[in-house]
A = this chain, B = another copy of it.
Amino acid sequence: MAQEAVAQEAMTQGKAKAPTIYDVAALAGVSHQTVSRYFKAPGGLKPATLERVEKALAELHYTPNLAARSLRSREHYRVVVVVPEASLYFPARMLNGAAAAAHSAGYRVDVVAIEGTAEARAHQLETLLGGEDIAGILSFVPRPKGSPAARHSQAIPMVVAGEYDNKMRARGSLADGAAARKIVEHLASLGHRNFFHVAGPTAWPSARNRRAVYEETVAELGLVSLGVAVGDWSPASGYAAGRKIAAIKDVTAVFAANDQMAIGVMRALHEHGLAVPDDVSVFGWDDMAESSFLIPTLSSVHMDLEALGARSMSELIARIRGQQPATEALSLAPMELVFRESTARVRA
C-alpha cells in the first residue's frame, strides 16, 4: 500500500524514478540480460533485437546506475586528481582539461588537494589509495622519492603528470626542454652572455628538465651561467632569487621557470634600481593571462594547458582500461615562445 502511494505520488509529480534495465527490457520485449549485453558489446545482438533495445532505451531516457554496476563488476568510474597544496601556482586550466577528458570518457573526477608536511602528505596519499573504490589516480604533484604506497600502487593505475616529459627528453624528442633551449638561444642572439636561472622545486620533473636544458644550452653556446636559484613556483621565491641576482650585478639575462617567479624577480630588480629590460632581460614560462599586461610585459612560453591536462587524463584512462595510450596522448602539447617587453638587446 505504501508502495502504491509512493508510485502514485511519483506519477503525479512527474518525478518518475530512474528506469532500470528491467524497464527497458520489458518495453523492448527482451530479457534484462540482453539489455545489459547491449552495453557491453552492441555488436553481439541480432540487428532486429538491437534496434528494439535501442528504441526502448531512447524512449525511457535510460542512464545506467553506476553504483549497481560497480557493485557487481567491481569496476570503478571515479578517478582522483591530486593537485598541489600551492594550487595558487598551479594552472587551473590543466585541471579543467583533465576533468573534461575524464567526463567524456564516463568517469567521475574527484579533486583532492594534498597538503601539509611530507609525512602528512604521504599519509593522505595512503588513505586515498585505501578507499578501494577508485579507478585511477592522476597526480599533478610529483611522486615522492621513496615509493610510499608501493604495495597499493600495484593495484591502482596512477599517472603522474609531467613524468613523461623525462621520457620524452630521454628520447630526444621535442619535449618541454625544447622551449628552454630556444629561450637561451634567443637571449644569446640579443647579445646576452651572463645568465641566471630561477628553477622550480627539484621534485618536479618539468623543473628539473628546464634547468638541465638551460645548463646544457648555456654550456653548448659558450655562455656563462652565473647561478641557479631553486624556487617553489611562488612570486615570493622569485623575489628572493631576484635579490641574489641583483647582488651578482653582472647578470643580464634571467630565465625563470614560471611567470610568477619572474614577477618576483622583476620586483626585486626594480627595488635594487635595475631596470627590465634595460639592465636585465627576464623570460618567464606559462604565459599567464596577466603576463601581457605587466609593466613591462613579460616574455614567456605559451602552452595549451587544457590539452596537457586532457592528455594526461587520456593516458590514465588508457591505463585503467589496460590499453596502450594513444601516441597522441604521449606527445607534448605544442608550445610557443612569446616575446614581449621584458627581453631586449643587451645594453652596449
Binding site for B on A (CB under 8 A): 14-15, 18, 61, 63, 65-68, 70-71, 78, 81, 83, 87-90, 92-93, 95-96, 99-100, 103, 108-113, 130-133, 151, 155, 234-236, 238-239, 260, 263-264, 266-267, 270, 289-290, 292-295, 297
Contact = CB atoms under 8 A, between A and B. Distances in A.
A87 B93 contact: yes
A264 B239 CA distance: 22
Contacts of A96: 83, 87, 113
Interface of A (DSSP majority class): helix
A155 B14 CA distance: 12
22 contacts: A63-B130, A63-B131, A66-B67, A67-B70, A78-B108, A88-B92, A90-B92, A92-B95, A96-B113, A99-B111, A100-B113, A108-B108, A108-B110, A109-B112, A111-B111, A235-B289, A235-B290, A235-B292, A235-B293, A238-B293, A260-B289, A263-B290
A32 to B, nearest CB: 16
Contacts of A110: 108-110
B111 A289 contact: no
B294 A133 contact: no
Contacts of A260: 289-290
Contacts of A112: 99, 103, 109
B65 A294 contact: no
A263 B295 CA distance: 9
Contacts of A155: 15
A94 to B, nearest CB: 11
A133 B234 contact: no
A264 B99 CA distance: 29
A96 B85 CA distance: 8
Contacts of A99: 111-113
Contact of A293 (B15, B61, B68, B239): B239
Contacts of A151: 14
B293 A290 contact: no
A49 to B, nearest CB: 26
Given A67-B133, A270-B295, A290-B290, 5 more contacts: A67-B68, A87-B95, A95-B111, A111-B111, A235-B293
Contacts of A65: 71, 132-133
A18 B129 CA distance: 13
